[in-house]
Chains A and B, each alone.
Chain A
Amino acid sequence: MAGTDQSKIRNFCIIAHIDHGKSTLADRIIEMTGLLTSREMQSQVLDNMELERERGITIKAQAVRIVYKAEDGEEYIFNLIDTPGHVDFNYEVSRSLAACDGAILVVDAAQGVEAQTLANVYLALDHDLDVMPVINKIDLPSAEPERVIEEIEDIIGIEAQDAPRISAKTGMNIEEVLKQVVEKIPAPGGDADAPLQALIFDSIYDSYKGVIVFCRIKEGTVKKGTPILMMATGAKAEVVEVGYFGAGQFIPCEELTAGMVGYITASLKNVKDTRVGDTITNALKPCDKPLPGYKKVNPMVYCGMYPADGAKYPDLRDALEKLKLNDASLHFEPETSIALGFGFRCGFLGLLHLEIIQERLEREYNLDLVTTAPGVIYKVYKTNGEVIELTNPSNLPDPSEIDYMEEPIVKAEIMVTSEFIGAIMDLCQERRGMYEGMEYIEETRAVLHYKLPLNEIIYDFFDALKSRSRGYASFDYEMAGYEQSELVKLDILINKEEVDALSFIVHAGTAYERGRKMCEKLKEEIPRQLFEIPIQAAVGSKIIARETVKAMRKDVLAKCYGGDITRKKKLLEKQKEGKKRMRQVGNVEIPQKAFMSVLKLDDK
């Protein structure tokens, strides 16, 4: 690909609010440019993972190179970079955007501008991208393209009159989108002879090729044999192969020059060495300074993960190690619980990230997991001046040693139609939100600004938000540091014994309520046993709630004759099997799903 004319390259991404049709448009573009025959075409080509297709979300950034033949006969190279859509992966989104020169903004012709539409546009503008709006789903009966165009111009402030009105689903007007990409998205710049400066926007681990780094060449040239240096991690290696992205495959080429998007493989063993956002340069002829914006991403949400079958502990470790090869933001370290045995304390970017890892472990690695309630990182300031970053409630020091504690806070923007403002404000109030203002973006819709403790939104805030606004509210947040807070550890005692895996940190003001709900939930989950089982919630030595699981009174088969034996045996076997799925804590058998019940306390 040597000597590709920079003016014939377009590097762009597609940004959208969730469900506005980002991946579908990507599919159509790939299809239209003939990269894949429609027989090969599978819905959401860029979403490789089974899980991504199923949930309709993009988890990992993906890229594809497309050749577009314009009407005048000129051939253009499009590098389309698909970005994760969820706030958990915000940093990765920001790095993907940094690899582009422009963005297609997809807006749903019925829904109009939503919270993430705005958030993503601002993100794109921050990276100096030219934003090109597209109105999607105009085939819907409820489509109002004119209104949406006005909205885009009013709210976002970008010109939208000639935005293509398309239906990515039916393929209508996609040609117009391609045409505008050539016209509206700028060609990349950069000097192929300058010192190498390449931005890593993703990396994956391949068992044959090792680490494959996805990058955008900003300056210079890289080819086989180039000695490279990762400027932030300091890792050095020699390039083994460079190439670009076919649909679902890697196509090697001679070299990558300034303006191009492609991949590099080198003698790298670990994705940890190739952090998203880092700059690759030539180790012998380094550039002056790295590209801006690199930041180490740290987990925000922690939980314990335990194999349901204790013997599978090594399998869980292997699986986590494998996942980490592809996901540098996943953290884990071994921990032991009295109730659950050996497992890992795992750190995630957010709750979705947690769920995805959990599902992948269960599906791709066939593991049965017990997950403890997710928590955030609390800062514990001890009286002796020591500061602890607490990720596991069990490690909370004795209250007498604690001076004060801090919890992470987020700034949240909630977009909602006016009829639900009251309900959503109530919700935020319940979750200890601090109201910071509200603005109407049009007559019937407003953006609410709140400061919320992260630990109040990691459980089920999103679900509650959706259910209280009949699905209309959308939500976005960013981290806003730590604030002092009155926090306590809520312990659960089952049959008078503390169950470490059920402890969690909670604000003192909601401890009573949470404790009560937790006891009620556990009462439902724990089956009757030989004796009565008290379930108690305690803060320190004070019991704040109590429920009782009554003793099993009667469990007997009235009849068992010749024809019944096989069936009765199956019944008894099932009973036995059920017991196996329980955790023995003291004398009590606790079903594994009880450990997750803390997740579902708010079912209002």
Chain B
Amino acid sequence: MIWFLIPVVAVLAVVAYAAGLALAKRRAAGHPQAHSRPQQHGYYALIWVAAPALAVIILAGIFSGPIAQNLISAGLPDVVQDMEPFRRDAFLNDARLLGEGQRPFQTWTGPLAEALESEAARSAGIQRTLMWGGIAGAALAALLGGLLAFAQIGPTLRARNRVEGWIGGLLFACSVVAILTTVGIVFSLVFDAVRFFDRVSITEFLFGTQWSPQIAIRADQVGSTGAFGAVPLFAGTFLIMLIAMAVAAPVGLFSAIYLSEYAGPITRGVVKPMLEILAGVPTVVYGFFAALTVGPAFREFFNGIGALLVGGPLDGLGQYLMLVQNQMALVAGTVMGIMLIPFVSSLSDDIINAVPQSLRDGSYAMGATKSETVSRVLLPAALPGIAGAMLLAVSRAIGETMIVTMAAGLAANLTLNPLDTVTTVTVQIVTLLTGDQEFDSAKTLAAFGLGLTLFIVTLLLNIVAQRIVQTYREQYD
């Protein structure tokens, strides 16, 4: 790998800085009106040494792999050329390993054993050539850049402006990374999702009610139909989200009202940091809590009620409750609601605090009590903002993964019964993509179809929510 050159470039850049500084001082001697300070000339030299060299290194790092691959496969002997593609890849990989002085994975026999030796030597040679080419290119780039900079350094060079131009460009590049991330997300999801929708029609995916992603390996296999109807997953996600919001919305909102309107400064000073720390608890911890504490507790509670009802007028219900499992939608939903409380609370707190004090003062001046002010003035004024905050919480609930993976089940039941086992979009993504995977089966690609759906839904929710919150803020600015 060529990346080891980066520290070398860093050292070179420091040397260039010192040299540029010294040179600028010498050339500026006797010129009291030099445009830039010597340090700025130093930075100018530093940039012109480091930037071209880094550009060459990055290009070489990205492209040397594919180039080496092309060169290697261009000159393959016939024995290797005639192999099946899959075995040929394994062979070439082993040749590369041998060339790097490591042990090959497999033992190759006959003519292939001889070919392996020669291919290993050839591949090592190609790699070496490319490596030295990269090093030479980087050195040349640094040298040319440095010469250019050192030639220019002098009292009339506007080094400060040029260095600042580079800094501005660099900062702009940083903020473009955000756009590139979005582009990356969209491309990686769409690319594989399209391959999925080649195999499974988009209407079957969106409206089918049967989800069983196991694909039959043998034709006569039972129970592996490979159905990709995602409606049960959407229903399960929706159900768990509803339960979570039923817990988080009232508790979070009321705690925000209490903190911003009723609590004294001491309570506020203690409770707010606690809520922040609660918001920092990893979701995998909530998942453990749900799976090992809340799940069994809820099951015992419902089984107990069931035992009381069995034999009475509600015998059927009792029988059902006796059989309730740990992994019910209610458990995952409740714990997810607890997780969302700090999120809802801090968002609502911001919104309530943004309501102008004059509205409260006006209400008190008219003789309203505190609770009347809260319910008649504050909440109506804050309502749009709170709605936006709730939508953001809904989007969080839909995309939450760990709690449902650990506490909800895998069975894709199409039900709205909170005591039943349901599965969600995120759980299925995790299940489809952990363990053994091959990248051209509909089963694996289905995860990207689900991911794309999830991304689009949460994106829409966020855009709407942010629009609402934004308009609300502007109303009082």
Same complex: no
Give A contacts to B, CB under 8 Å.
Answer: none
Give B contacts to A, CB under 8 Å.
Answer: none
